[in-house]
């Protein structure tokens, strides 16, 4: 599958790119700066031993991807998504976005739309947004010689979730369907709990596994 990762120059997007490239997918790293995307793609090609990874502007990446991943900080949604709305029409769009701000009085502040995924859906009305990958830390994605010790919780459009579940399985994750996109606020909020556990216990990769399944 062709997977475009907007904000793919960052830690989370680059980690997803590595895992998916090694699973045989073609990756387009997106950035506000095309040259930065090309440099990150070259770096990732080197790390993954020449897997198909290219770099483009976010707008061009969204056109080229059959699936589009949002790996942007929350404030980047409003500035980035309007220009890619047409390119994302009828596509599966995966939101990994969490409105975390480190160092302030609140670690997590829910966006006015309820969740970043619902904000993305409002900005991309023709797309099928699925919220997923919030609990898979960049650090864990980057360690490609180790399996990821965490479930993939996802919510959103039913058919789109099947595609995202398959993409999760391709990197060794067990997908767990947690319902409609209106549950995205809960998925996003739990990320703040995981970040707090990491800090409290000196970890990097606190994650979630569902029991009883």
Instruction: Choose which of 48, 57, 96, 163 interacts with ligand NAP (CB under 6 A).
Output: 96
Number of residues that bind ligand NAP (CB under 6 A): 26
- On the CB side of 160, how many CA atoms lie within 13 Å of its CA? 26
Q: Which member of 75, 110, 147, 180 binds ligand NAP (CB under 6 A)? A: 75
Q: How far apart are CA 80 and CA 173, in angstroms?
A: 29
Check residue 7 and report its DSSP letter. T
- Residue 156 to residues 121, 143, 185: CA-CA distances in angstroms? 10, 28, 12
Which tokens in the block code for residue 120? 């993305």
Options 59-67, 71-79, 157-165, 169-177: segment touching ligand NAP (CB under 6 A): 71-79
Q: Tell me the C-alpha distance between 104 and 117, whole Å.
A: 23
Is-contact 97 74, C-beta < 8 A? yes
- Per DSSP, the three-state class of 51 is coil
Among 4, 31, 51, 123, binds ligand NAP (CB under 6 A): 31
Taking CB under 6 A as the rule, does residue 134 contact ligand NAP? yes
CB of 92 to ligand NAP, least distance (A): 17
Q: Is 34 in the site for ligand NAP (CB under 6 A)?
A: no
Q: Which residues pair with 92 in a beta bridge?
A: 67, 128
Query: With binding defined as CB under 6 A, does residue 183 bind ligand NAP?
Result: no
136-165 binders of ligand NAP (CB under 6 A): 137-138
Shortest Cβ distance from residue 173 to ligand NAP (Å)? 13
CB of 174 to ligand NAP, least distance (A): 17
Half-sphere exposure of 111 (CA within 13 A, CB side): 23
Q: Which two tokens stand for residue 208?
A: 């979630």
**By the 8 A CB rule, do 69 and 2 touch?**
no
Q: Does 189 help bind ligand NAP (rule: CB under 6 A)?
A: no
Q: Is 38 in the site for ligand NAP (CB under 6 A)?
A: no
Alpha carbons within 13 angstroms on the beta-carbon side of residue 84 total 32
57 near ligand NAP (CB under 6 A) = no
Which position has the token pair 């302030």?
A: 104
Q: CB-wise, 31 or 183, nearer to ligand NAP?
A: 31
Question: Minimum distance between the CB of residue 32 and ligand NAP, rounded to whole angstroms?
Answer: 3
Residue numbers of the site for ligand NAP (CB under 6 A)? Answer: 7, 9-13, 31-33, 36, 71-76, 79-80, 96-98, 100, 134, 137-138, 191
């Amino acid at each position: 599958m062709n997977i475009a990762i907007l904000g793919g120059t960052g830690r989370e997007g680059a980690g997803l790119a590595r895992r998916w490239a090694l699973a045989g997918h073609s990756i387009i790293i997106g950035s506000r700066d095309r040259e930065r995307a090309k440099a990150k793609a070259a770096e990732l090609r080197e790390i993954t031993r020449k897997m198909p990874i290219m770099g483009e502007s976010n707008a061009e990446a969204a056109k080229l991807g059959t699936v589009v991943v949002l790996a942007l900080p929350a404030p980047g949604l409003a500035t980035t998504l309007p220009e890619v709305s047409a390119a994302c029409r009828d596509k599966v769009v995966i939101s990994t976005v969490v409105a975390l701000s480190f160092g302030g009085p609140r670690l997590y502040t829910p966006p006015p739309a309820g969740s970043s995924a619902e904000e993305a859906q409002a900005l991309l009305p023709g797309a099928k947004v699925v919220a997923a990958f919030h609990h898979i830390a960049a650090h864990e994605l980057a360690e490609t010689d180790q399996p990821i010790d965490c479930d993939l919780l996802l919510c959103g459009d039913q058919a789109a979730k099947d595609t995202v579940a398959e993409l999760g399985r391709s990197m060794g994750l067990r997908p767990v369907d947690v319902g409609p996109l209106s549950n995205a606020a809960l998925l996003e909020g739990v990320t703040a709990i995981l970040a707090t556990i990491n800090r409290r216990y000196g970890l990097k990769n606190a994650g979630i596994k569902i029991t009883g399944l």
